Amino acid sequence: MLTETAYAKVNLALHVRARRPDGYHELESLFAFCADGDILMAAPRDDGALTLAITGPFGAELGSGDDNLVLRTAAALREAAGVGTGAALTLDKRLPIASGIGGGSADAAAALRLLVRLWGIRPPDIDLFAIAERLGADVPACLGSQTVFGTGVGERLHAVDLDTGGRPILLVNPLRPCPTGPVFRGWDGVDRGPLDPAAWAEGRNDLQSPAVALVPAIAGVLDALEGLPHASLIRMSGSGATCFALFETDAARDDAATALRAVHPDWWIWPSELR
């Protein structure tokens, strides 16, 4: 049994620049990744079957049929690599579903990394990035799970050298549905300017306003984070509803998590650190 972490994705900044004719949006985003996330496990199956069991606190919200992104990823990789062996996969779903932190995309990327090892595929012999790009806009960034600047729909990735590794972070989600499509459709179409990756703390998330309009509970999360001592940056990630705050020390982050849990026991509150 091999194991791989599907690292939670955080958009430290996300600028929406334009709507495209194909319905997608031109974006500029600084992707960062937490040290924790969902856990994916796999063992080989000699009968060639691909199976998926789902556990964890958010496992009941996902189906394990062929349309599950993890199984679609496994099938795409096996076809591209010409592998005959199957896999028994288990997903420990620890991140909320459709929450703006790349849960599904991170799971797909973790499946690629995990199955390359399980099936003994040589990375030089296959274009993993091309497979990732076909699976979803965030999957290429999640494949490396390192801080990176993304443009296009998020698939054009540019290396950045930022001192964010090890930075304590607190993720908070009100556990309210926040569908991506309506959030993007709620963007007002105003280009508020480019994102400078070196000045990401001065950036913004252009999806925050339409997400709050769709799910007002997000505003409550942001207000609660703003009221925490020692929180240095408060912002929503992706299309929501997860928001985050950065801290200088683990102790300050953990104290903040304890304080929030006492007041909001119905929220998902998750301390971690950036990779």
Say which DSSP state 85 is in: -
Three-state secondary-structure class, residue 58 = coil
**Tokens at residue 110, please?**
């973790």
Burial class (CB in 10 A: 0-12, 13-18, 19+), 174: buried
* Dihedral sign (CA 249, 252, 254, 256): negative
Number of Cβ atoms within 10 Å of the Cβ of 69: 18
Amino acid at 215: V
Annotated active-site positions, please? 9, 138
In contact, 53 and 91? CB cutoff 8 Å: yes
Structure-block tokens of residue 130: 């091309």
Tokens 């105003």 sit on residue = 190
Question: Count of alpha carbons within 13 Å of 272, Cβ hemisphere only?
Answer: 24
